[in-house]
Amino acid sequence: MSTIDTVELAKRTEALFSLPQHMAMPEEAESIIDLLLTALETGVVRAAVRGDHDEWLPVPWVKRGILAGFRVGRMVDQSVLGDARVSRPFTFFDKHTYPTRALTLDDGIRVVPGGSSIRRGAYVARGVVCMPPMFINVGAYVGAGTMIDSHALIGSCAQVGERVHVSAAAQIGGVLEPVNAAPVVIEDDVVVGGNCGVYEGTVVRARAVLAAGVVLTRGTPVYDLVNERVIRAPAGGVLQIPANAVVVPGARTVSDGWGREQGISLQTPVIVKYRDEKTDLATALEGWLR
């Protein structure tokens, strides 16, 4: 593939997105969207990037380009037609600009049979393992050696690092709109337990462990028992789970009023420790499954 001029691509993408709704798309619209999706799939551009101060920043023009791709697209039949004598076809109807991503054996991605999908415009590195059924959406980035387990979702524009385990039924939320929304980021060597939910405005730093059932959003207070503090997202900022933190589901009692009288507690994540050799031994078993 020829070198992609990202500056020119950004300029052309922004121009496409800014066209009024009543105007017809130009002839080159499909080629612009195709180039953007190719750039995403190859990692030339990303929907979020790490800034100079180790913060994660959205890339609005990329998101605008993805949104423009839906406008450019037309509804087509993307069904997978099997042998009608032995099975029914898988029926899918979507915009022609966003089919499933084409993969070959040379991509080095292990996709176990059973109903998984990777959408066009997602970066999936070599060594990623996809257990059925799972889904990776457009604009997502999944680093090398990561495992996406059964019934897990990597949402649109979510950023997942290397050697991450996204366990069964975990949800890594997508952040396509608004285009300036803070990204969802899972950094390298993180373990995301089963049935976890990590949503808009949350960054999970390297080597953290989220136990099964932990739910994180920008508005979630996280109680750090080790350092005796409450971690919250600053105004307009993101919730950051510290590196090496081990987070479990917890509860805090309603402090006053009728809720206190009724003994009501609210769900809240709790940091019970920071990762050590014992924790590493417990998580090292994943490697045997790859």
Grouping H, G, I as helix, E, B as strand and the rest as coil, residue 33 is helix
Rounded CA separation 117/134 (Å): 6
Residue 13 parent element (H or E): helix 6-17
Residue in 38, 27, 95 with CA at minimum distance from that of residue 67: 95
DSSP per residue, 19-34: S-TTSPPPTTHHHHHH
- pLDDT tops 80 at residue 13: yes
Residue 209 parent element (H or E): strand 209-210
Kind of pairing, strands 171-172 and 197-198? parallel
pLDDT in tens, 63-113: 999 999 999 999 999 887 766 555 666 788 999 999 999 999 999 999 999
Handedness of CA 115, 144, 271, 246 (dihedral sign): positive
Grouping H, G, I as helix, E, B as strand and the rest as coil, residue 93 is strand
Which band of pLDDT confidence, cut at 50, 70 and 90, is reported for residue 290?
low
**What are phi and psi for residue 61, nearest 5 degrees?**
-65, -30
Kind of pairing, strands 239-241 and 185-186? unpaired
Q: What share of the chain is helix, strand, coil (3-state, %, to 5)?
A: 20, 25, 50
pLDDT in tens, 186-217: 999 999 999 999 999 999 999 999 999 999 99
Count of C-beta atoms within a 10 Å radius of residue 129: 18
- State residue 284's pLDDT score: 67
pLDDT in tens, 222-237: 999 999 999 999 998 9
pLDDT in tens, 154-174: 999 999 999 999 999 999 999
- State residue 35's pLDDT score: 97
pLDDT in tens, 241-258: 999 999 999 999 998 899
Q: Which has more confidence, 231 or 283?
A: 231
**Residue reference for tokens 């998580």:** 283
Grouping H, G, I as helix, E, B as strand and the rest as coil, residue 36 is helix
Side chain identity at 285, as an amino acid letter? L
Domains annotated on the chain, with CATH: 6-75 (1.10.166.10)
Side chain identity at 162, as an amino acid letter? E
